[in-house]
Amino acid sequence: MDLGHLMKTVAALAVLLALVPSCSSGPDLPPRELPPAGGQLDYQLGGAYQPDVPVKIVVRDRSKIIDGRRYNICYLNALQTQPGTMDGGLDWWRKNHDDLLVKKPNGEVAIDPEWAEGILDISTGDKRSRILEIQKKWIRDCKTSFYKGVEPDNLDSYTRAEGAFDLNATKEFMKSFVQYAHEQGLAVAQKNTAELGQAGKKEIGFDFAIAEDCQAHDECRSYQDAFGNDFFQIEYTDEGFRKSCADRGGRVSVIRRDRNVVPYGHDDYVYEVCPPTV
């Protein structure tokens, strides 16, 4: 290769790297890549499947294999137990770390009634540290599985915690969670929790947001004020989806999914994207 051709190759690589969204991580943190703002999302928590060709970002459970051609976000349940019998499930926590589950006055585990998940107890600094030590392995597993981002779920579990802890405890836990994920070179999503306002990005350090039904709850403006177009919207009703497409489709990534986010081929499967803007 002659020098002139080498210089052109280097220049082309520099242009490509400049097009990849990234975060300034500081001198002691590795660089991390953000999902492309406005990129078409597919939310596959109910089971992995081959996404449509235009999809650029895929969210899957941490137990699933990535889609090697797209930006992948690793879902994990940060403040409640995982579903099923996998490590991190309710039975697993009961057996191995029962004192880290929120208990009702009668001694029973506090349960999220919608998803039958136990609430993790982050009421003290010691418990927050112990829970994070357990989850550090899961975060590292996301990294070694070649995910580029992490979606920690149930930041609103304080509303189901029987008064054991509040939003401030959630902030403290997530600061440490985000810091560790950033140390692994992973971007981190704020999942729902519009009540965080600007604190999600400015205090905790979330890189982008994933919001469910924000149109239905009149919360989308909170995410856009905090993250600009770096938020990804999932609506579960036709009305919320149509209104979202009219309000911000083409600037913010908006999709319509079925409530249980079942895989393609299931009778209840729903997946829509906003029509092209004129």
Residue 24 has a pLDDT of: 52
Residue 189 has a pLDDT of: 98
> Distance between CA 35 and CA 278 in Å, rounded?
25
Residue 7 has a pLDDT of: 43
Q: Is residue 147's pLDDT more than 90?
A: yes
What mean pLDDT do residues 46-75 have? 97
What mean pLDDT do residues 206-214 have? 98
pLDDT averaged over every residue in the chain: 91
- What pLDDT band is residue 27 in, cutting at 50, 70 and 90? low
- What pLDDT band is residue 25 in, cutting at 50, 70 and 90? low
| Nearest alpha-carbon partner for 204 in 222, 230, 182 | 182
pLDDT tens per residue, range 250-268: 999 999 999 999 999 999 9
Q: How far is CA 59 from CA 12, 55, 56, in A?
A: 30, 11, 10
- Check: CB of residue 128 under 8 Å from CB of residue 173: yes
Residue 82 has a pLDDT of: 86
Q: Is residue 52's pLDDT more than 50?
A: yes
What mean pLDDT do residues 225-240 have? 97
Q: Catalogue all structural domains in the chain, each as residue range(s) with its CATH number.
A: 3-273 (3.20.20.70)
Provide CB contacts within 8 A for 117, sequence distance 6+: 77, 80, 81, 82, 83, 90, 111, 154
Residue 8 has a pLDDT of: 45
Residue 278 has a pLDDT of: 61
Q: Is residue 5's pLDDT more than 80?
A: no
The terminus-to-terminus CA distance of the chain in angstroms comes to: 47
Record the tokens describing residue 249, joined without a space.
């489709």
Three-class SS of residue 167?
A: helix
Residue 11 has a pLDDT of: 44
Q: Is residue 59's pLDDT more than 50?
A: yes
Q: Is residue 272's pLDDT more than 60?
A: yes
> Distance between CA 191 and CA 256 in Å, rounded?
17
Residue 87 has a pLDDT of: 83
Between residues 165 and 16, the one the model is more confident about: 165
